[in-house]
Structure 1
């Protein structure tokens, strides 16, 4: 059983006497506060805080974290108020304790929204002081070690939650040894049988392999002596959960995984790492494509090492990791290694990265619309398999695997993402949706007037890109809705022979109150989004008392002009694909704004004469937008006729977007074309060109008459 004296003894290696005294003071305070409380296993409660402090002492955490570890359940379980703690131990420790107790409330089994809000709280606590999460992770690890006394269902719940949330956070902060132990304990709690089977199989396999392991290790040591470099050589054991995950995800048998022999060589300097690499490659043949240099380009969580795979005697695969003592500490303790090594040189990079990550969390938090959206963004960041790409100036950017040029653009800067129009990958123009590969150089082309495209949401993977695009579209949609709402309201007022200036402030306030809106702009946005009808509101604004002095029948139907550049709140119905020149009518659809149909479209038949639902529209005189039209061309089968169709359309200065041929019989076939034109006259020109082709029998403009 751990004691405070044993802990003080350990702390004397790296803390000063006054600091150790403060830790002891916190221990005795907690012991008193928890007096009479027992853990489920029957031990006195104080055993738990002491064990948590011991885990943190392994990482050489500072005295304030250790004090917080001792006191982390005091506010929660013993009714000691926060203010009393502050008087005793100062504000910093109290804030840490408060942060940890708030996290204790988080149960991730509850409803989506609830869970998401809790996760947001966690991010906030981490952002204020990263030590909060370190204490919480140590607390969780000790709870996992003592899971045995829990009911099986509770055991499984805690294990599932740890694998979903806490293990990835430990990984993100580089706390490898803590994560490995967490994962193995969770694996055992969730799948006791599988865990036991793999444990036994691994034990047997290790017995059979020991001779080979010793031979390889001594061959490596001999080679190091020959070249005169000193380094520790240790066999690397895979832990149970990673073996299980590999078997499950890569469909490998245990034998395949155990056939690989892993070694770690730990030396004194970066220079020695590269020299050892050379020595290893001359000892055994390296496997092409399996060498990774994480020293020059560290992983996101600060991990550094050289990885290489060699083929040993008899074709045995040997995986070797080469790193310095400091990198070894960083690999095991991640951000906590910052406390282990007080040197600010390389260590700062890992800590810096962790801080940067937490900073990004805060940014996401600000722009996420809802907690659920926030969690969705963070989950991506918690499970990164990174790729590394270069900016044109040679700066390295880390991105999750599967990232596209858009993700890269947002990683550079939000404005670059928002105004991105094209990209060059390794100097070649490439689609924005192309997945980036390791080592590519990516250059983004921007234009001042460009804006994010809603379709980007289908392929971006980083939380930053996704939340920025959504955020931009939300504000964009709002400003477009407001301006469309204003045009619709003006038109409705105009029909009643009035204008906005005729509405007095009293009526305005009354209507805003009635509709529950804050400002006139909110009201316009509602009209533009199709949630409220302009004619109704126009009357309501003019006559707040219900007696109307406006002749409602004198509705002069002057059409509203459509430019085709209205953006997100005006859309063209897929059922009849209207183009400039077609007589059109607008249907106000809730949430979608104005949907434009042709006048004779079946889908607007029922409300064509209802001025509340439909707006008569006209096309603006100077439209330069492109519209898509579907054509069905009946033609005789002969060679190269499709090429002739394509060239006829190009000559008419239109663009083919899609072409598909559906065979009718041996002689006749039907070709579907989607053509981009800028109006009816342009379409007529294209159709004339098509008619001139020998073998074209009939051309029909198709309209899909269902929704």
Structure 2
């Protein structure tokens, strides 16, 4: 563990103007606050924030970041508050510490919800200041280094999986490849211990058989370039076990079939020398087609720049070679952190444009599962490059479609997409894009995202935007249904209700506005009784709490006093031939004679029944398929009202543009009444199909 003076000396070595007094105070503060707390390893707890601060000094970050690293666990794990941090270390440090701090004490949330809320808070904080992410990544890296001290295998696996799915990809997206590789290696050891042990053993075996082979290949590359007058630095390394395991899984090959286990880096003085070195390598050794990538002319979204190629060395050995300048290498290994240190005090731009997509996903995701799913999609996939007709470059995950591209360009463009041209040809929207495709999106002013798009889009941004749009449309339609039901309910009052009554009802029901009220009614979240009582308190006093079914309808054939219920499977109405099923301890269920449930062999006595004189209050169910255009829902409601049918419930059951399917429960007098309503619906131009269920 770094001593107090060692940490201060590290900071002063690259930032002579750093406030030594403030750094010392932060070191002492974290030691005092964490006090006698211990880590799973048995070390004092304060050793962890001190080591995280040490990682930040390796990246030569500013003193506010170092102090944040020292204090990042004090609010979560001690009695310190954000107010205390601000009073002692200023508002900037307090803001950064708050961004890194998890949401604590959320005991009522499920594990997934808690993880999602922590992620939501973290993403929003790092969008404001990327240093929040840098501290968080260092925090996670040090925790992974000590993960083996945790006794619970389940907890180790959970932390390792979270690291592999969230934090390692985040490190990759901001170009911190050293952090990414170490996190992946440590997580892989926990998640796949047998595979890790096997691959580590095989690598050790190869190392013992080919002593010095990596050095000899690096020397051969250097000599080949020196012969052409180029002075370069070359070194090589074996790939990590996780990288090899991933390649084995992707290519469906064994360890012996993975040929490019070694990778080499060639460091040149300038860009021109990078391309010259590449040409010399390709003329000295055979290069493998399809494996060359130019990330210098077309950098990755995290700012990564390098030339990648693969060569066939002696004895058909395949080796991977990366060619870059010294400055590129510095930025590539530590990405945004290196950029921040180089332009201290300025916010990095360009490299973090993808953060805007993450924030859109946070805004659009409605629940924990959706947020976690979409965020992983946004940060954890291999990339392709596609262009607009004007040459603007966009990076997308492999397998992305024209719709994914449209949303990547702009959310509004994606929302109004009606077609796409790929390399000048009209292609289906579900077409997967290839590297280098030129994509032209065709807009429609009245177009909207379609639910069916979720079947083929793969980017988190597109999925979140589509779901948000579909939810908004569904909410509007449900609210429209609620308005119809509300109008019928208001007609029951002897006087006309004013705006004041509705405002008071909103307050009593704890709703924000009328739209929320209509949605709650349409979605059956509020009963008629609750709405009426909220509108006019006391108006339901004389209404029966649960009107017994059968009082308004008389049925012949029942023993006097015997209870009955109209079956919900067939919704019989007067005029249907009916039969009763006497179920022990449950009374009699009244079914239409042609009900499909009667063929299921119900264990009950059959009772011959017929309708009596009273028939008010029977409920029939109909299915109506409307054309999806303005006014059709109102047309259906008008038909119900004209035919004096009281709407008990109505629900949107299917959306298959250009049709919407509704199921409605209507209070009718008899079969003839219900038949007239179905006939009127079928005669309407707003209705494609109508039938009784």
> What's the TM-score once normalised by structure 1's chain length?
0.73
User: Within the alignment, does 1:372 sit opposite 2:403 as a pair?
Assistant: no
- 1-structure distance, mates of 2:678, 2:648: 6
Partner in structure 1 of residue 326 of structure 2: 325
With over 3 angstroms needed to count, the CA separation of the structure-2 counterparts of 1:474 and 1:568, relative to structure 1, is farther
| 8 Å contact from structure 2 (residues 239, 262) kept in 1 | no
Structure 1 residue 589, shift from structure 2 partner: 4.4
With over 3 angstroms needed to count, the CA separation of the structure-2 counterparts of 1:430 and 1:595, relative to structure 1, is closer
With over 3 angstroms needed to count, the CA separation of the structure-2 counterparts of 1:423 and 1:50, relative to structure 1, is same
User: Within the alignment, does 1:565 sit opposite 2:565 as a pair?
Assistant: no
Per mean C-alpha deviation after superposition, the further-off stretch among 86-95 and 507-516 is 507-516
Deviations 1:474-519 (A, max 9, x none): 22233344445556766x599x8x9999544566567767877654
- 2-structure distance, mates of 1:90, 1:74: 15
2:437 alignment partner, SS class:
coil
- 2-structure distance, mates of 1:439, 1:94: 45
Partner in structure 2 of residue 301 of structure 1: 302
- 1-structure distance, mates of 2:258, 2:669: 67
Aligned equivalent of 2:473, options 473, 476, 491: 476
Partner in structure 1 of residue 681 of structure 2: 618
- 1-structure distance, mates of 2:284, 2:338: 33
Per mean C-alpha deviation after superposition, the further-off stretch among 438-447 and 516-525 is 516-525
Deviations 1:547-575 (A, max 9, x none): 89xxx9899x9x9998623489979xxxx
Partner in structure 2 of residue 221 of structure 1: 222
Partner in structure 2 of residue 170 of structure 1: 171
User: Within the alignment, does 1:124 sit opposite 2:124 as a pair?
Assistant: yes
Partner in structure 2 of residue 75 of structure 1: 75
Write out aligned runs for 1:224-623 (5 A).
224-257=225-258, 260-342=261-343, 351-483=348-480, 485-486=482-483, 502-505=496-499, 508=502, 519-525=513-519, 544=539, 564-566=627-629, 589-590=650-651, 592=653, 595=661, 617-618=680-681
Partner in structure 2 of residue 24 of structure 1: 24
2:266 alignment partner, SS class:
strand
2:446 alignment partner, SS class:
coil
Structure 1 residue 380, shift from structure 2 partner: 0.4
| 8 Å contact from structure 1 (residues 294, 303) kept in 2 | yes
| 8 Å contact from structure 2 (residues 626, 632) kept in 1 | no
- 2-structure distance, mates of 1:562, 1:534: 26
- 1-structure distance, mates of 2:201, 2:381: 31
Per mean C-alpha deviation after superposition, the further-off stretch among 177-186 and 499-508 is 499-508
Structure 1 residue 299, shift from structure 2 partner: 1.7
Partner in structure 2 of residue 147 of structure 1: 147
With over 3 angstroms needed to count, the CA separation of the structure-2 counterparts of 1:485 and 1:207, relative to structure 1, is same
| 8 Å contact from structure 1 (residues 233, 265) kept in 2 | yes
- 1-structure distance, mates of 2:282, 2:288: 10
- 1-structure distance, mates of 2:152, 2:123: 30
1:218 alignment partner, SS class:
helix
- 2-structure distance, mates of 1:329, 1:104: 37
2:395 alignment partner, SS class:
strand
Structure 1 residue 418, shift from structure 2 partner: 1.6
Structure 1 residue 235, shift from structure 2 partner: 0.7
- 1-structure distance, mates of 2:389, 2:421: 10
- 2-structure distance, mates of 1:272, 1:79: 57
User: Within the alignment, does 1:137 sit opposite 2:120 as a pair?
Assistant: no
With over 3 angstroms needed to count, the CA separation of the structure-2 counterparts of 1:619 and 1:276, relative to structure 1, is same
Partner in structure 1 of residue 612 of structure 2: none
Partner in structure 2 of residue 2 of structure 1: 2
Structure 1 residue 55, shift from structure 2 partner: 1.3
| 8 Å contact from structure 1 (residues 49, 71) kept in 2 | yes
- 2-structure distance, mates of 1:117, 1:560: 40
2:681 alignment partner, SS class:
strand
- 2-structure distance, mates of 1:104, 1:596: 44
Partner in structure 2 of residue 199 of structure 1: 200
With over 3 angstroms needed to count, the CA separation of the structure-2 counterparts of 1:191 and 1:315, relative to structure 1, is closer
- 2-structure distance, mates of 1:176, 1:596: 53
> What's the TM-score once normalised by structure 2's chain length?
0.75
1:102 alignment partner, SS class:
coil
- 2-structure distance, mates of 1:257, 1:568: 63
Per mean C-alpha deviation after superposition, the further-off stretch among 7-16 and 508-517 is 508-517
Structure 1 residue 34, shift from structure 2 partner: 3.8
With over 3 angstroms needed to count, the CA separation of the structure-2 counterparts of 1:234 and 1:590, relative to structure 1, is same
- 2-structure distance, mates of 1:84, 1:475: 42
With over 3 angstroms needed to count, the CA separation of the structure-2 counterparts of 1:187 and 1:596, relative to structure 1, is closer
- 2-structure distance, mates of 1:105, 1:410: 37
With over 3 angstroms needed to count, the CA separation of the structure-2 counterparts of 1:333 and 1:610, relative to structure 1, is farther
| 8 Å contact from structure 2 (residues 265, 323) kept in 1 | yes
Partner in structure 2 of residue 656 of structure 1: none
| 8 Å contact from structure 1 (residues 311, 318) kept in 2 | yes
| 8 Å contact from structure 1 (residues 235, 262) kept in 2 | yes
| 8 Å contact from structure 2 (residues 383, 398) kept in 1 | yes
